[in-house]
């Protein structure tokens, strides 16, 4: 079953082009030679994600995303918890549209599901190039929030 679901957990719903994001996730998965399983993208706030970060990784700091990977073989499945607070702050800090930063973080999480890591400088460079490749398919100037 290939399903991509978007959930708002303890945050106010906001408007975004879920069909465009979903289409690009499916493109990424196919382009990386994988198949789609069930992916749930959960939008939440900083405290919610901090609690998860503490509970599951014993990390006591804010982050923009936590990826829980349930993939089996070549089928990508998982939960992507995304802090909307961090996404908004990062968008402002990097002078990006909110949606561009949001999509970058989602793509980043799906790349983790596809087996990419970002622990070393070299891995971070590969991850950033992949993110940019998939984001370059979207014209954000026409898709402002």
Quick one: pLDDT at residue 145? 44
Quick one: pLDDT at residue 1? 57
Quick one: pLDDT at residue 51? 87
Q: How far apart, in whole angstroms, are the C-alpha atoms of residue 15 and residue 38?
A: 22
* CATH label, 3-142, candidates 3.20.20.70, 3.40.390.30, 1.10.287.70, 3.30.420.40: 3.40.390.30
Q: Which residues of the chain fall short of a pLDDT of 70?
A: 1, 56-62, 141-145
Quick one: pLDDT at residue 64? 87
pTM of the model: 0.91
In the structure encoding, which two tokens stand for residue 126, read together?
Answer: 């590969």
Q: Which spans in the chain are helix H?
A: 18-31, 46-57, 84-93, 98-113, 121-135
Quick one: pLDDT at residue 143? 47
Quick one: pLDDT at residue 57? 65
End-to-end C-alpha distance for the chain, whole angstroms: 31
């Amino acid at each position: 079953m290939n399903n991509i679901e978007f959930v708002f957990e303890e945050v106010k719903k906001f408007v975004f082009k879920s069909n465009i994001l979903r289409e690009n996730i499916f493109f990424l998965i196919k382009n990386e030679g994988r198949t789609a399983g069930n992916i749930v993208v959960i939008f939440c706030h900083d405290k919610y994600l901090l609690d998860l970060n503490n509970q599951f990784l014993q990390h006591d700091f804010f982050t923009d995303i936590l990826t829980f990977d349930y993939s089996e073989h070549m089928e990508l499945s998982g939960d992507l918890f995304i802090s909307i607070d961090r996404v908004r702050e990062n968008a402002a800090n990097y002078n990006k549209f909110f949606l561009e930063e949001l999509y970058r973080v989602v793509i980043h999480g799906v790349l983790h599901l596809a087996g990419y890591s970002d622990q070393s400088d070299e891995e971070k460079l590969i991850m950033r190039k992949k993110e940019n490749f998939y984001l370059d398919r979207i014209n954000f100037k026409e898709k402002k929030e």
